[in-house]
Amino acid sequence: MGCLFTSPYSPLYYLFPPAKSQSLEEQPKVYSWDVRERVDPKDYMIENKQNDVFIKLPGSINGMQFIIQNLENCVVYLFDNVAQVSIDDCKNCKFFIGPSKGSVFIRDCSDCNLATVCQQFRTRDCKRITTFLSCGTQPIIESSTSMKFSCLTINYAQLTEQLKNAKISIFNNNWNNIHDFTPVPGELNYSFLSQTYQLIDYVPLPDKFTCNQLKLTFSKTDTLIPLTLGISNRPTSESVLVVYFPNDSTDQAQQNQEIQASQLINEIKNNYSHILLVQAKKYNLSELSAENVFGTKSFNDYLKNGPIIGLEFNGNDASRQCHELVESLKLKPVFVSCPSSNLMHQIDTFYNFADMQMSV
Amino acid sequence: MGLLSLLKKLRSNPEQELRILLLGLDNAGKTTLLKSLASEDVSHITPTQGFNIKSVQSEGFKLNVWDIGGQRKIRPYWRNYFENTDVLIYVIDSADRKRFDETGEELSELLAEEKLMGVPVLIFANKQDLMNSARASEIAEGLNLHTIRDRPWNIQACSALNGEGVKDGLNWISKNIQRKKK
Ligand SMILES: Nc1nc2c(ncn2[C@@H]2O[C@H](COP(=O)(O)OP(=O)(O)O)[C@@H](O)[C@H]2O)c(=O)[nH]1
Ligand SMILES: [Mg+2]
């Protein structure tokens, strides 16, 4: 295409035809999308259906974009990687959307239940949508009412690999931090589900055969994505912050760091049911910020190795139990906060730096 | 641009500083484009609540790029950023066909704005890597771009995610701005 001076559509083109050298320069370039294999969009779309169930198994979407529109009383499961998903004009439907490298965008839908793990979550013009969410950035809603959110709990055989493909970390879930573009004074367009509910109350498991094939579970105990309470929901006044650092800059070190964080979460889940995970964060911390959070320079050497993983636990005796566990697991390098009047400020600072680093 | 004002501009900005306004619907990929221009990681981008600014060096120009949130609710605030714009970049999610009408309407409104009169416009037909994306030529036709007569314009296919096509858009800007000098 061209500008006013060179566009063949422009009347000026005929008065000032481009010089020869220029037209050579502007010869059409070949981009990857000009030469890629064409696919049938219908294979990546579910539309205009009623009272039906659709299951896409691992390997059937392979990280392509997926489109869902105009469904009523349907259940849709996408157990695969997607590039981005739009869900438009659906009523009374239930969805599971597998790891999305880009956004999951819901528009003009009502009375739907949804479970998804994605990089971005967005809604517009929706009513009564309940979402079990794992989202790498802050979820946003616009012109949407009676929206409910909860933490996604799920596992299946291919999930770890799919999360990796989508560049999503299970240690960075912002389901509890919603931004509303259209707040209404005196009303709340969104709320959080009580912890007494679970995913299965809102989205049914698929048929037995599929469940077995995928080793699928929605349970809170077997979930791969850590169940978090959210910072608006601390049950007691006793919190503890545990931060893991990568030992060096290798992939192996980052893997170890994740294993250690998972181990601690599982030990606590299995042995101390009264201590709960409030929130997990994985992000790059600068040296200056680190000094601010930890009150010491002694962790600065690890920061250049990669992102840190921070876990906040809450419950009576959380601090002592975490110190003991971390000691006995011999996991290093790690920081565990000490009880002090300054602790909540320290934890807030830790989250604030995470938010700052997430914004541009 | 008249010769006098041009000279003034050149004198006050010896290294040619350009103010670029980045607009488009929410989810079009504006912030991803901004970060890709600045060669930053584009894998974890939060939806924009207000605006972001970055300065980027390109082809002897210093680009001051303003990326403004695109939600319907905050589009009325776009006008607060119109003043002194040298180039408008308008970003479209080429794979979101449901919103082609909406994005076309917003673009026409922008082109009718007095404060943006004559400002060159570069349209990025973004997300070309996605399977449902419309080609730049299809979008140009759908949006009737050929009826734009009052300013230089260009539509460039790109993927802000993998960077393809972005540089070609910038090239158009630099050529176009140089043309202003003559
Ligand atoms: N596949 C693909 N996704 C993109 C591209 N550009 C942006 N995205 C994704 O689209 C979503 C919206 O991008 P963002 O930059 O936040 O859009 P904005 O609202 O216009 O600022 C994010 O999930 C991005 O990762 C692209 O060229 N290709
Ligand atoms: Mg943005």
What's the CATH number where B52 sits?
3.40.50.300
Asked if the Cβ–Cβ distance from B47 to A107 is below 8 Å, we say no
Identify which has the larger pLDDT, A12 or B168: B168
- A222 in a domain, yes or no? no
Q: In terms of domains, do A46 and A153 share one?
A: yes
Q: In terms of domains, do A87 and A118 share one?
A: yes
CA distances from B136 to A31, A111, A200, A249, A352 (A): 12, 36, 44, 41, 41
Nearest listed ligand to the Cα of residue A103 = 1
- A251 in a domain, yes or no? yes
Q: Identify the pLDDT of residue A188.
A: 94
Q: Would the pLDDT of A10 be above 60?
A: no
Q: Would the pLDDT of A307 be above 50?
A: yes
- A111 in a domain, yes or no? yes
Q: In terms of domains, do A272 and A311 share one?
A: yes
Catalytic residue, from B16, B49, B71, B156: name it.
B71
Q: In terms of domains, do A69 and A183 share one?
A: yes
Q: In terms of domains, do A174 and A49 share one?
A: yes
- A15 in a domain, yes or no? no
- Tens-place pLDDT, residues B74-87: 999 999 999 999 99
- Kindly report the pTM of this predicted structure: 0.91
CA distance B111 to B118: 9
Q: Would the pLDDT of A2 be above 90?
A: no
* B165 contacts: CB under 8 Å, gap ≥ 6: A31, B124, B128, B156, B157, B158, B159
B181 annotated to bind ligand: no
Q: In terms of domains, do A242 and A328 share one?
A: yes
What contacts 24+ positions apart, CB below 8 Å, involve A261-268? A261/A171, A261/A309, A261/A311, A262/A226, A263/A329, A263/A331, A264/A311, A264/A322, A264/A325, A264/A326, A264/A329, A264/A331, A265/A226, A265/A311, A267/A325, A267/A329, A268/A313, A268/A321, A268/A322, A268/A325
Domain with residue A246: its CATH number is 3.30.70.141
- A33 in a domain, yes or no? no
- B26 in a domain, yes or no? yes
- B91 in a domain, yes or no? yes
Which of A31, A140, A179 has the CB atom closest to B165's CB atom? Answer: A31
Q: In terms of domains, do A46 and A184 share one?
A: yes
Closest CA to ligand 1's atom 28: B127
What is the number of structural domains in chain A?
Answer: 2
Q: Would the pLDDT of B156 be above 70?
A: yes
Tell me, using a 6 A CB cutoff, whether residue B29 lines ligand 1: yes
Closest CA to ligand 1's atom 9: A102
Q: In terms of domains, do A83 and A197 share one?
A: yes
CA distances from A94 to A65, A72, A130, A139, B23 (A): 19, 10, 10, 19, 34
For the segment B100-111, the average pLDDT, to the nearest whole number, is 97
Q: Identify the pLDDT of residue A192.
A: 97
Tell me, using a 6 A CB cutoff, whether residue B94 lines ligand 1: no
Which pLDDT band, with edges at 50, 70 and 90, does A329 fall under?
A: confident
CA of B37 to the centre of ligand 2 (A): 14
Tell me, using a 6 A CB cutoff, whether residue B152 lines ligand 1: no
User: Which residue segment(s) compose the domain that A159 sits in?
Assistant: 42-208
Q: Which helix (H) or strand (E) holds A252?
A: helix A251-271
- A83 in a domain, yes or no? yes
- Give residue for tokens 């030529």: B137
Lowest mean pLDDT among A8-17, A247-256, B53-62, B132-141: A8-17
Helices A287-294 & A343-358 angle (0-180, nearest 10) = 160
CA of B68 to the centre of ligand 2 (A): 7
- B2 in a domain, yes or no? no
- A268 in a domain, yes or no? yes
Q: Identify the pLDDT of residue A165.
A: 97
- Tens-place pLDDT, residues A105-129: 999 999 999 999 999 999 999 999 9
- B5 in a domain, yes or no? no
Helices B166-181 & B3-12 angle (0-180, nearest 10) = 120
User: Which residue segment(s) compose the domain that B23 sits in?
Assistant: 15-175
Enumerate the residues of chain B whose CB falls inside 8 A of the CB of residue A140.
Answer: 47, 49, 71
Q: In terms of domains, do A183 and A312 share one?
A: no
Residue from A35, A89, A360 whose CB has the most chain B CBs within 10 Å, to mutate: A360
- B3 in a domain, yes or no? no
Q: In terms of domains, do A113 and A191 share one?
A: yes
- B130 in a domain, yes or no? yes
Q: Identify the pLDDT of residue B124.
A: 98
What part of B 97-136 touches A (C-beta under 8 Å)? 98, 120, 127-133, 136
Is B16 an active-site residue? no
Q: In terms of domains, do A237 and A293 share one?
A: yes
Domain with residue A171: its CATH number is 2.160.20.70
- A297 in a domain, yes or no? yes
Tell me, using a 6 A CB cutoff, whether residue B127 lines ligand 1: yes
What part of B 133-152 touches A (C-beta under 8 Å)? 133, 136-137, 140, 145-146, 148-149, 151-152
- Tens-place pLDDT, residues A61-94: 999 999 999 999 999 999 999 999 999 999 999 9
Q: In terms of domains, do A54 and A187 share one?
A: yes
What is the number of structural domains in chain B?
Answer: 1
